[in-house]
Amino acid sequence: MAASSMLSCAAQPASLTSLRAGRSSSFMGDQVRTAPVALRRSQNVAASFKPRVLVAAAGGYQSGPRTAKDQGAGIVPKAVATSVLYFAAPPAAKVAPLSAAAEVPTSSMPSRYYMQLAQALGVDPSGFQALKTPVSLGTTSKELWDQMDRIPNKVMFGSLGGKVNFHQAYKNIVAPLNPGDDGSAFEAAMGDQLDEWYTYKKTAKGKITPAVFNAWADKNFNGDATEVEEAFLSMTDDPIKAALDVVHNPKNFATLYETDIKALKSMLNGGSAINFTFDNQGAAIDLSSAYAHTESDDRFLWWGSDTSTTATSLSSKIANAKVTVTVSYGKVVSVPVSAKTTWFDSSVMATALNGDSTIWKDPTSQTNFFGNGADQEGQVPRVINSIYVVRGPFKITTTMEADWSDDERSYFQQNISGGFWPFYSSSSKTIQNTVDTCSKTQITATSFNSDSGTYKVLGAQISDIRSAFS
């Protein structure tokens, strides 16, 4: 390519139209069974938490109460008052403006993006994880639940993901628990009529409840029906035994979470536009309030997986150039992660975590699943409160001011379609990557999407397993 002061650039797309404005989190279900005292205490805290919605305000967006009208039909469970919560996120803390460095200073572009995104969402960064590469949701409930079902990594930004999903981990936790009532007292009370009951049970329609058994016993039991009815109630009211019965039936896991893709689309109709601009100039920012900042790698890679010498060298040059980033997200909502009570019982989870070793068939299981609360992490160290989902259109423009050689500008032009920071998404039907300006002193690159049917996960609000069930 011939050297020139200005390379031929792709035409800059038309700017996004103005984005209209118009929401935060817990794992809940209509579980009526009485929970342990510690869990009931967490319910009271959760009951005082009202979901929030971002509303337009001078200078940006601020959070305010979400009304029943805002919630939309089918999004928030109706029986909140009787719900046992898996965990409830506290009200979003006020995020202070980015300030000069205090304990953990950084000028890294990824970290600056992380803090600006948390601030724009109005979330407390101490429990916020941003995705290093936003994840496409697809168009099905299964794809949505797959993201909700992750056991998140302990990183400030990265992937949501471990190899074991939460619902599978819950099965694994329940399996080695000892039920408080194994049914032996009921079987002894039934005596010779136990087989008669089991035969009736096989032909009975609907769920076998204490009321169903009582009706059968009052009509058919030869002795005192009161004794067997009490024994049956004790057996069926034991939450661990009930959970063991539930997790062995695959049908109970057909629907994993309360919010399905239809409800998500309804929520996004009332979502909020988020717009912010930042640069890498001035004082370093303080990351001391950010989640897992000491375990996080905030290295800047413009091309992500491209680790060639040229790409790595350019990433370093960009990091040291004067960089300005403008972000525009069309519709963003916080989607609560609420487990279906067809398979999940939070009282059982709390008992498994906080109970003594006698509730386990193997006393070491408790530490294996939950760690020791100090230096050992278990298989389920943390859980997701909510995920932040964006619907197109969205647009990110990055302007880099430095002395750019012809070879460097040519490399940008030739490789831009492969995807770059922060989305790292290749050009496709839903994502367009362009170089808009490519002079000797300035390169401007844009990644944009104009499709309102595209959904991506930007991040999640998460909790440590012990704080979730303390």
Rounded Cα distance between 308 and 314, Å, is: 10
Q: Which of 6-15, 52-61, 228-237 has the highest mean pLDDT?
A: 228-237
Secondary structure of 227-257 as H, E, C letters? HHHHHHHHHHCCHHHHHHHHHCCHHHHCCCE
For residue range 257-313, what is the model confidence (pLDDT) as tens digits?
999 999 999 999 999 999 999 998 877 888 888 888 777 666 788 887 777 888 888
On the question of pLDDT at 5 being above 70, the answer is: no
Of the chain, the percentage scoring pLDDT greater than 70 comes to 76
Instruction: Tokens for 136, please give them.
Output: 């496409």
What pLDDT was estimated at residue 320?
87
* pTM of the entire predicted model: 0.71
Q: Rounded mean pLDDT of 451-469?
A: 88
Q: Rounded mean pLDDT of 165-192?
A: 90
For residue range 418-432, what is the model confidence (pLDDT) as tens digits?
888 888 888 887 788
Rounded Cα distance between 349 and 114, Å, is: 32
Q: Which residue has the higher pLDDT, 242 or 16?
A: 242
Within 8 A by CB and 6+ apart from 16, the residues are: 328, 330, 393, 395, 448, 450
On the question of pLDDT at 142 being above 50, the answer is: yes
> In this structure, what DSSP letter does residue 288 have?
T
What pLDDT was estimated at residue 87?
35
Q: Rounded mean pLDDT of 405-420?
A: 90
What pLDDT was estimated at residue 183?
81
Judging by beta carbons within 10 Å of its beta carbon (0-12, 13-18, 19+), is residue 214 exposed, middle or buried?
Answer: middle
What pLDDT was estimated at residue 106?
56
What pLDDT was estimated at residue 54?
33
User: Between the CA of residue 296 and those of 35, 251, 378, what are the distances in Å?
Assistant: 36, 39, 20
What pLDDT was estimated at residue 162?
67
Query: In this predicted structure, which of 96-100, 234-238, 441-445 has the lowest mean pLDDT?
Result: 96-100
Query: In this predicted structure, which of 55-64, 153-162, 220-229, 267-276 has the lowest mean pLDDT?
Result: 55-64
What pLDDT was estimated at residue 192?
94
For residue range 373-404, what is the model confidence (pLDDT) as tens digits?
777 788 899 999 999 999 989 999 999 999 99
Helix (H) or strand (E) holding 71: helix 68-71
What pLDDT was estimated at residue 273?
93
Distance of CA 345 to the CA centre of its chain: 19
CB atoms under 10 Å from CB of 309, counted, come to: 7
What pLDDT was estimated at residue 50?
30
Helix (H) or strand (E) holding 199: helix 194-203
Q: Which residue has the higher pLDDT, 194 or 49?
A: 194
Q: Rounded mean pLDDT of 328-356?
A: 92
In 3D space, the residue among 395, 398, 267, 386 whose CA is nearest the CA of residue 330 turns out to be 395
Within 8 A by CB and 6+ apart from 370, the residues are: 352, 353, 378, 380, 381, 465, 466
**pLDDT class for 13, splitting at 50, 70, 90?**
very low
What pLDDT was estimated at residue 81?
26
